Amino acid sequence: MYLLFLNSILLVMKVLPFTIPKSKHDSILLQEDKGAVFYDLLHQHEEIQLSYIVKGEGTLIVGDTINFYKSGDVLVLGENLPHVFRSDSKKNTPSQMRTVFFTKDAFGINFFKIEELKSLQSFFNKAANGFRLISKEGEIIKLFDAIFSAKKLDRFILFLQLLKKVNRAKYEHLSTFVSEKKYSDNEGKRMSNVFAYTINHFHLEISLDAIAREAAMTKTAFCKYFKKRTNKTYITFLNEFRIEEACKLLQREKEWSIPEVAERSGFHNISHFNRKFKLLKGKTPSEYRKELAL
């Protein structure tokens, strides 16, 4: 079996783009990540990625959109889709993720065009923006486990079964906008720095001058660059990140007051927090918390 352990290869990986180490004899690549954190730099690769989060939780940025991942999640990321996993440092539990990598032409350029596999085209369409399964199907988890212990022919058969099950499951998109332009190494490092700074400092005041310095750009140049890359302004992105963090806190910290959640999420004005929350979630923070309790 071609198992790759991320903690043993981090030092040789480029930030963007990075290459999944390949075997000449394997079309389906298996990787198991174990450790305190996952690879937490913005990156992209030509392989389509199907991942099952066995343990761990944290922030997931895909394209232009902030998400959170947790144990039990099944995630699909399309080819060359920029993304970053950032494990929650406040949790002392280990992280574990099982991933299946493959390219659309790994089995031949026309493999997925044959009549019997044409129904999988919707899988590739959805993967372009990434998606998360929202229907919890135990069979899919069992298929992940089986693939990691199967020999090559059985692995291939199980892989096709996995694609079929994942394609038919209920899902939600992970990103709304993905730039057609691929990142260069320098651009990847720049955006990785921007995202890392945002994740580490979102609870504080972040000025455009400060974040532009992280990107080694002038404020004007940075604002234009970020908007072109994500189809949104940095301030919009920052507010979205803070609201997602607030949602997580409303669910996890049930004893905290709404003003405390707002403060911990980076909003130092409760009225501003309530407006942004309702704008993005369609309900007030109090309504959101009440729904969680139902």
Question: What global pTM score does this model have?
Answer: 0.80
192, part of any domain: no
At 177 the pLDDT is 74
User: Do 207 and 142 share a structural domain?
Assistant: no
User: Do 206 and 163 share a structural domain?
Assistant: no
- Looking up tokens 């004007």 gives 220
Using CA atoms, how far apart are residues 64 and 198, in angstroms rounded to an integer? 13
At 9 the pLDDT is 30
Pairing of strands 83-87, 131-133: unpaired
193, part of any domain: no
- Looking up tokens 């993967």 gives 127
At 7 the pLDDT is 35
Using CA atoms, how far apart are residues 192 and 62, in angstroms rounded to an integer? 12
User: Do 79 and 9 share a structural domain?
Assistant: yes
User: Do 151 and 284 share a structural domain?
Assistant: no
The model's pLDDT over 60-112, given as tens digits with 9 standing for 90+, comes to 999 888 898 999 999 999 999 999 888 886 667 788 999 999 999 999 999 99
28, part of any domain: yes
- Of 173, 191, 220, which residue sits at a domain end? 173
At 20 the pLDDT is 53
**How many structural domains comprise the chain?**
2
208, part of any domain: yes
User: Do 127 and 33 share a structural domain?
Assistant: yes
180, part of any domain: no
At 272 the pLDDT is 96
Domain membership of residue 222 as a residue range: 202-293
The model's pLDDT over 120-148, given as tens digits with 9 standing for 90+, comes to 999 999 999 999 999 877 899 999 999 99
Alpha helices in the chain (DSSP H): 121-127, 138-147, 152-168, 185-201, 208-214, 219-230, 234-252, 258-264, 270-281, 285-293
All residue ranges of the chain with pLDDT < 70 are: 1-25, 89-91, 179-181
At 24 the pLDDT is 57
Beta bridge partners of 100: 30, 50
At 91 the pLDDT is 65
User: Do 160 and 281 share a structural domain?
Assistant: no
Structure tokens at 217: 């750009």
- Looking up tokens 């761990």 gives 56
User: Do 92 and 156 share a structural domain?
Assistant: yes
User: Do 29 and 152 share a structural domain?
Assistant: yes
